[in-house]
Amino acid sequence: MEFGFHPTEYNCIGLADFKGLLVDGDDTTVRLAKAVLPKRIEARQSFITLDNIDSLGTHFPQLGVLSVDVDDHDYWFLKALLPARPAVVVVEYNASFGLNPVTVPYDPAFDRVAKHDSGWYHGASITALTKLCKTHGYKLVAVSAAGGNVFFLPEASDMPELDPAHAYRESTLRNRWSGTTAKEQRGRIKHMPFVDAAS
């Protein structure tokens, strides 16, 4: 089950013959997905909120991969979905936040560009997501090479656990198109409201 996708780019795209649900708020993206993806993959248009995510989270009695990449409330949605006990968790972290254990406050009408014109104010840090997953029995096991996605497995997994401070990577894509570093990005949004995920 994947929240936030494009038919040509989503985290489960490399899995063979999986049955799944892809959810996105953009109607054009969902219409394209229905036209090009196999029928075993359901594409659904929905703006996700904490009010409707429970019904989406119970779509499958056993959840293999859960992927959350919605560029706004990834932390809050993941928190709501972790009790479904997915086998693998993939979630986008905001590299612009550095290692501060923070996330943006929940706002059902959230629009990251409306909140801050840079578009860098969204989601949660790698540290905040790691702490959240740890409280639900998951450990950090991998980070995407370009920075952006983190991967968690149940603590019983044989894969070694990573320390977010050592695993953290800046977003090479964001740095390239903006001509800035994560530290510079953080400086532009540091005045915005944050929730401390460590408390």
| Helix intervals (H) in the chain | 27-36, 53-57, 74-81, 112-115, 126-135, 164-167, 172-178, 182-189
Q: Give tens-digit pLDDT for 51-82.
A: 988 777 666 778 899 999 998 999 999 999 99
Q: Residue 130 and residue 64: Cα distance in Å, rounded?
A: 19
pLDDT at 199 over 80: no
Task: Check residue 16 and give its pLDDT.
Answer: 64
- What's the pTM? 0.93
